[in-house]
Amino acid sequence: MVASFHEECLERAASLWRAILAHPFLEETAACRIPDAVFANWLKQDYLFVQEGIRFICALAARAPHALRRPLASAIPALEAELDLFAGMAREKQIELEGVRMAPTCHAYVQFLHATAWQASFEEGFTLLYAAEKAYLDSWRRVRDNLAAPSPWQPFIERWAGEEFSRWVAWLEATLDELAAAAGASARERMAEIFLLTARYELRFWEMAYRGEAWPE
Amino acid sequence: MVASFHEECLERAASLWRAILAHPFLEETAACRIPDAVFANWLKQDYLFVQEGIRFICALAARAPHALRRPLASAIPALEAELDLFAGMAREKQIELEGVRMAPTCHAYVQFLHATAWQASFEEGFTLLYAAEKAYLDSWRRVRDNLAAPSPWQPFIERWAGEEFSRWVAWLEATLDELAAAAGASARERMAEIFLLTARYELRFWEMAYRGEAWPE
Amino acid sequence: MVASFHEECLERAASLWRAILAHPFLEETAACRIPDAVFANWLKQDYLFVQEGIRFICALAARAPHALRRPLASAIPALEAELDLFAGMAREKQIELEGVRMAPTCHAYVQFLHATAWQASFEEGFTLLYAAEKAYLDSWRRVRDNLAAPSPWQPFIERWAGEEFSRWVAWLEATLDELAAAAGASARERMAEIFLLTARYELRFWEMAYRGEAWPE
Amino acid sequence: MVASFHEECLERAASLWRAILAHPFLEETAACRIPDAVFANWLKQDYLFVQEGIRFICALAARAPHALRRPLASAIPALEAELDLFAGMAREKQIELEGVRMAPTCHAYVQFLHATAWQASFEEGFTLLYAAEKAYLDSWRRVRDNLAAPSPWQPFIERWAGEEFSRWVAWLEATLDELAAAAGASARERMAEIFLLTARYELRFWEMAYRGEAWPE
């Protein structure tokens, strides 16, 4: 049986995907022994990332075929609600979100989002979106499945391991397979390369949060 | 007292604005003697225009400062609802929306939206949005104020002469004035030129609907 | 034998293409009886169009695969030289180029260039470029072939009916066929639609020059 | 006396600029003791960077005011010649350019170029260009001024420490100051932030070349 496009991508990214799911950030979060300051690193950077992710989805929706525009744009309010979740958790845990600067990996990943949405083909942008969301679904499901005790970060786990987010990723997956099926061979290869790059950025993002990271001054 | 930027724009576009508000399409709609086929011209073309208008707002939201992103994006579901209104009215009046091709003026106006959102400054794109929405507010208020009898097209009148749309235009207006106040003189002049061009396209759009218009084949 | 993509496009646009080549603007130019003021209309508007055409090619080159970037960008100095040709002819014939405003059809066509280059696929933008250049090659060859006497506008005829321009269009044509062969069926259909739209704008551009055209004020 | 905008930027980036100019990569290149393999790292990555830099300048030229379009686009053939210089040196030193993959910092910097050119204001994109070219001018002049002996990499030193490149940077500098003078305060602040980010990426680029760098697999 022929693999669908998303299966082919996941197969080509298998070692990266394993490294993502086995990352100590996720492992320690599941084991409830991640230091608060380390989790806060991620929370601050991902807050900035999601703000830019909304602009990325807006740019994709601006170029989408009409049949995909409405479902894509429906993610915008969901992501604005995600920002509110970050802000609420930050308040609760006394994490300051104001004046935080993007760390290098976060900045680089965000530039990759925007450059792809604006300059590459719509299909490549869509692939990036699927890869990033799929990585989050799988990562947080891993946390949920291995959870040692009630987590102080429960709302994040529920958000990305939950039903609503899972349906969103399923729609992205099915749509990606359709887009890939309609694309020529070289366009499909460029889409697969975007998938691999996104997986690399996802892995580096956990690493940035776990190790800390700073710009030269 | 110094005029605000939107007042300056309306002042410079005064003769165009008068021509818009006095256009026979609006006059006959208010007098309830516009032929159904003429109104249908407009309905079909504006349906296509709104579809592209959503993509235009998505592109603007993609480039917006964070403080403007959420209010701008909040217009997206409102415009999707507008499309449903068009589709419902079309069904009721047995107007076929499938397979309609954009008339030249509609096509040109849509290209102007996209080219401005993607290539010009964010402030110029925002000016275009204000100008187009302000023209609709004023046009449909004129229809409402002069209405001779209950109109078969009442839901459109209520949509654009109504409270919710009026608040949206008021927000656009206040925000435009802030953007213009922060801009340099030459940037502001380019914004004013976009306003004037948009007024010209608005006038031509009513003309297209009223006279009919076709591409060479 | 299967038609190549550019042949298929020309076939679908056959009646438009005939209307372009038979347009009175070209016919009267060949017969050396086009009024100077009518030719000046075209010269002024096409000067503005070429300025924007350079930006259009820059945007295409920015999105081009590396193998196409260099040949595409090589057209930029050629088009800058074209602008100098316009300016020189305008001086010679005492046509004022300063302060000319784009007529509606010129403005619409320019927006179509930019919107396509920035928002549509690279392949669609490339199709627009081919269609516009091919229309010019065929139009000015028609003028050259039917020329009744030495023309006061000879340098334009030589530019677009000449060898260098012909080689450029041949490269565009061959490259377009390769891009289309690599594209999926629905992408190819969108490219063909861009070709047809470009042909319509080309025809309207001659019409604009011939009849004169103005914005509402 | 009020500092010009480019002076203000260099002042704010002073410690980054010192770190760039004192980077061991440049120091060892000047001392003629940089290992060939280390220099080759840079050469391979900068070759890829320049390819994308051309696309970046094309995108800027596509959005430039007409008066800036021609000088900006004149850099395109100069950069294509730069690519030929890289290819020639690579052949001479038996460095393989085919199949090289962008290292993370190079990829990130390239995304930053494209995202800025397409999505930010023209003025911000122009600032990025100036900052990157100014960093190269100053870096390679430092190498030239400290050169211990004839360098095997002489043509690179001559290219970026030379007269022609110096005139190009002087034009960028004067033009940047004019753009900044015409911009509002918040637009100018965003331009300054782009300058600082570019300086950070420049420093990280030397670091990437000097230490080596790889993606996770």
Q: How far is A16 from chain D (nearest CA, A)?
A: 6
Residue B209 has pLDDT above 90, yes or no: yes
Residue with tokens 């009886």: C33
Residue with tokens 């609907």: B209
- What is the reported pTM? 0.97
The predicted pLDDT at position C109 comes to 98
- Among residues C208, C49, C33, C193, the alpha carbon closest in space to that of C127 is found at C193
Distance from the first to the final alpha carbon of chain A: 54
C-alpha span between C101 and C114 (Å, rounded): 18
Q: Which amino acid is at A51?
A: Q
A74-129 pLDDT, tens digit per residue, is 999 999 999 999 999 999 999 999 999 999 999 999 999 999 999 999 999 999 99
Indicate the Cα dihedral angle D172, D178, D181, D185, nearest 10°: -40
Q: Could you tell me the two tokens for A144?
A: 């949920």
What would the mean pLDDT of D8-32 be, rounded to a whole number? 98
The predicted pLDDT at position D217 comes to 80
The predicted pLDDT at position A178 comes to 98
Share of chain D above pLDDT 70, in %: 100
Answer yes or no: are the C-beta atoms of C206 and C23 closer than 8 Å. Answer: yes
Residue B85 has pLDDT above 70, yes or no: yes
B215 CB neighbour count, 10 Å cutoff = 17
CB contact under 8 A, A182 and C182: no
B11-56 pLDDT, tens digit per residue, is 999 999 999 999 999 999 999 999 999 999 999 999 999 999 999 9
C180-202 pLDDT, tens digit per residue, is 999 999 999 999 999 999 999 99
- Residue B183 φ then ψ, to 5°: -90, 155
* Cβ neighbours of residue C97 closer than 8 Å, sequence gap 6 or more: C44, C47, C86, C87, C90
pLDDT bucket at A66, cuts 50 / 70 / 90: very high
Answer yes or no: are the C-beta atoms of B137 and B169 closer than 8 Å. Answer: yes
Mean pLDDT over each residue of chain A, to the nearest integer? 97
Q: How far is B217 from chain C (nearest CA, A)?
A: 6
Q: How far is CA B32 from the centre of its chain?
A: 22
C-alpha span between A46 and A38 (Å, rounded): 13
In chain A, residues with a C-beta closer than 8 Å to the C-beta of C182 are 184-187
D25-71 pLDDT, tens digit per residue, is 999 999 999 999 999 999 999 999 999 999 999 999 999 999 999 99
The predicted pLDDT at position C29 comes to 98
Residue D1 has pLDDT above 90, yes or no: no
The predicted pLDDT at position B170 comes to 98
For A128, the enclosing helix (H) or strand (E) is: helix A122-145
The predicted pLDDT at position B2 comes to 75
Share of chain C above pLDDT 70, in %: 100
> Nearest chain B Cα to D183, which residue?
B184
What ipTM is given for this predicted complex? 0.96
The predicted pLDDT at position C198 comes to 98
C-alpha span between D137 and D126 (Å, rounded): 16
CB contact under 8 A, C108 and B107: yes
B154-205 pLDDT, tens digit per residue, is 999 999 999 999 999 999 999 999 999 999 999 999 999 999 999 999 999 9
Helix and strand numbers (H, E) in chain C are 11, 0
B182 touches D at CB < 8 Å: yes
Length of chain D as a residue count: 217
C-alpha span between A170 and C134 (Å, rounded): 45
CB contact under 8 A, C58 and D56: no
Residue C146 has pLDDT above 70, yes or no: yes
Partners for B (CB, 8 Å, 3+ pairs)?
A, C, D
Q: Work out the angle between the directed axes of helices D14-21 and D185-211 (0-180°, nearest 10).
A: 20
What would the mean pLDDT of D68-79 be, rounded to a whole number? 96
pLDDT bucket at B217, cuts 50 / 70 / 90: confident
Partners for A (CB, 8 Å, 3+ pairs)?
B, C, D
CB contact under 8 A, B73 and A66: no
Q: Could you tell me the two tokens for D156?
A: 């690179």
C-alpha span between D156 and D46 (Å, rounded): 11
Length of chain C as a residue count: 217
Residue D163 has pLDDT above 80, yes or no: yes
Question: CA angle, corner C59, sides to C55 and C63, nearest 5?
Answer: 165
Query: What number of CA atoms fall less than 13 Å from residue C79's CA on the CB side?
Result: 25
The predicted pLDDT at position D216 comes to 85
The predicted pLDDT at position B1 comes to 61
A146-168 pLDDT, tens digit per residue, is 999 999 999 999 999 999 999 99
Answer yes or no: are the C-beta atoms of A65 and C187 closer than 8 Å. Answer: no
Share of chain A above pLDDT 90, in %: 98
B90 touches A at CB < 8 Å: no
pLDDT bucket at C216, cuts 50 / 70 / 90: confident
C-alpha span between C193 and C199 (Å, rounded): 10
- Among residues C108, C142, C166, C186, the alpha carbon closest in space to that of C21 is found at C142
Burial class (CB in 10 A: 0-12, 13-18, 19+), A135: buried
What would the mean pLDDT of B84-105 be, rounded to a whole number? 97
CB contact under 8 A, C16 and B111: no
> Nearest chain B Cα to D125, which residue?
B121
C-alpha span between C124 and C183 (Å, rounded): 11
B115 touches C at CB < 8 Å: yes
Closest partner residue to D115 (CB to CB) among A114, A200, A217 is A114
Burial class (CB in 10 A: 0-12, 13-18, 19+), C126: buried
C50 touches D at CB < 8 Å: no
Share of chain B above pLDDT 70, in %: 100
C-alpha span between C195 and C183 (Å, rounded): 15
Q: Could you tell me the two tokens for C17?
A: 């293409």
**Is D101 in a helix, a strand, or coil?**
coil
B1-12 pLDDT, tens digit per residue, is 678 999 999 999
C-alpha span between A194 and A124 (Å, rounded): 6
CB contact under 8 A, D58 and C55: no
Residue D2 has pLDDT above 90, yes or no: no
